[in-house]
Amino acid sequence: MRYSLVLPVPIIRPEQAIPFAGLVRWGRAERLWQGQTEVIDNHQLVSWLAGIGLRVPSGFGVNLSPLRSPYHAAVEARSTALATGCSVIAAYGPGSVDFQRGVMGNPYQSPLTATREYVTTVRALLNGELVATEGECYSTTGRLVPARSAEVRVGMGVLRTKMAALAGQIADDAITWLCPPTYLSDVIVPQVWGASTQAGRDRVPVTAIIPCAVAREGRRARDIAFEAIGMHIQLPHYQDTLRDANIEVTGKTEDVDKLIDAGVFLYGTISDIRDGLDRFSRAGVDEVVLNVAGVAKGFGLRAASRDLEEILDAV
């Protein structure tokens, strides 16, 4: 299993990303991931890091499709690969219904259809194909200007069974978040792999973004967990996902205790965290992305970097 890290918080100065990129460039992490950000654009940040000599493999998981056309998404992903000379995993998801409505005026009639059209178009453009599609959600006619770059893989955010099956059919990678290892092993991974087989494709790898923190004096697991995932468990689509995994949450602070017990949020000694990560490996996960957002928000970026370094050294 591969180990990567996600930039733990949206930053306001690009210099703040240097220690985390350094853990990829000179440390043991394989890739620097970022979620969707509304502060410094994540593609621009990776290019800025490349400009100061920190050229690292990057992952975007997940960027929200309502914010950019498929053509723009393909240009951004490839430009990142060109600027860094390193591989890129660009994963996309539709976001919440409220987010779709706020950005586009109306939500997608079918997030599944929108994602199918979006990912298929981005993949075709990156393959150098001339695209001429008329879809229910996206219509695109065009081709990227030819240019040879490092590999760009197109992923999908996956929470539930239908998106998992779609990822197996059309994506290069399936990216999960807030999924317990048992839910991954029993539901999501079999859906992804089964759909890959039925489509006559190689097995699509599964990546799990995993919130975690090292137990230290002055820290409380519940507080750190809520800093990391409290916003997410208040959203209906994450509550539905966790309900499918037999975890009932309503968005209250104490709900995070259930996610700690289920191994969704890993807290404890380095050995405890290593054991928790092993459960994801046994579930069929190919890459884990360490997310120390709760530590960064509660104790600062230096403390977050220290946790990542110690966990990566241990695994």
- Per residue in 185-201, pLDDT (tens digit) is 999 999 999 999 999 99
Confidence band of 158 (pLDDT split at 50, 70, 90): very high
CB under 8 Å to 43, separation ≥6 — which residues?
60, 76, 77, 79, 80
pLDDT, mean of residues 254-272: 97
Reported pTM:
0.96
Cα-Cα-Cα-Cα dihedral of 301, 306, 307, 309, to 10°? Answer: 120
Q: Which two tokens stand for residue 69?
A: 């056309």
Confidence band of 4 (pLDDT split at 50, 70, 90): very high
pLDDT given for residue 70 in this prediction: 98
pLDDT given for residue 212 in this prediction: 98
pLDDT, mean of residues 152-174: 98
pLDDT, mean of residues 298-303: 97
Confidence band of 43 (pLDDT split at 50, 70, 90): very high
Return the percentage of the chain with pLDDT > 90, whole number. 100
pLDDT given for residue 33 in this prediction: 98
pLDDT, mean of residues 103-123: 97
- Which CATH superfamily includes the segment(s) 2-314? Luciferase-like domain (3.20.20.30)
Confidence band of 124 (pLDDT split at 50, 70, 90): very high
- Please report, for the chain, the start and end positions of each structural domain, with discontinuous segments joined by +: 2-314
pLDDT given for residue 34 in this prediction: 98
pLDDT per residue as tens digits for the range 16-33? 999 999 999 999 999 999
